[in-house]
Amino acid sequence: MKSYGLLFCLAASCSFAGDLQLTLPPVVYATPDVPMSLYHDNLVLTETPQDYRFEFECQLGTHDARRWTVKPTDADVGDHPLAITVKDASGKVLEQGKTTLHISPRKAGADQTLRLLIVGDSLTHAAVYSNEIANLLSRFALRRA
């Protein structure tokens, strides 16, 4: 029996500028028809993420005031470069980083046992995130039936 897990918080790119630290995982994972977002305040270790301007370069996704988000399709399966630039209010580049957006096929890992370790904050403890994961996994199971 194989088990697979994902630890999202491994930093591939970590840089510092004063009180700003940009932290990116080596790979960001997504799957078709499931929205995935990168929130500004989760990409920088600072108490004032609103003081910075974020720019995202990727052939997929959209960017709004708080996050970059993508809802991939089956045609998007594969790897896509994703670059992030953080600027101050005057437009000066403070930090830059790159990662890969990996979109897995719908049936990736089918017929394999899945085990998850969910690490987080009080919302995790209150089962908010784990309930959402269970909801997503049950929707997938219903589609396969």
User: Which tens digits make up the pLDDT trace of 16-61?
Assistant: 445 678 888 899 999 999 999 999 988 988 888 888 999 999 999 9
Three-class SS of residue 140? helix
User: Which tens digits make up the pLDDT trace of 75-84?
Assistant: 999 999 999 9
Give percent of the chain with pLDDT exceeding 90: 43
The domains of the chain are located at: 13-108, 113-145
Q: What's the topology of domain 13-108?
A: Immunoglobulin-like (2.60.40)
Asked if residues 118 and 130 have their Cβ atoms less than 8 Å apart, the reply is yes
What span, in angstroms and rounded, lies between the C-alpha atoms of 12 and 97?
9
Mean pLDDT of 65-81: 95
- Is this prediction's pTM over 0.75? no
Quickly list H helices, 55-125: 122-125
**Residue whose pair of structure tokens reads 């630890």 in the numeric block:** 7
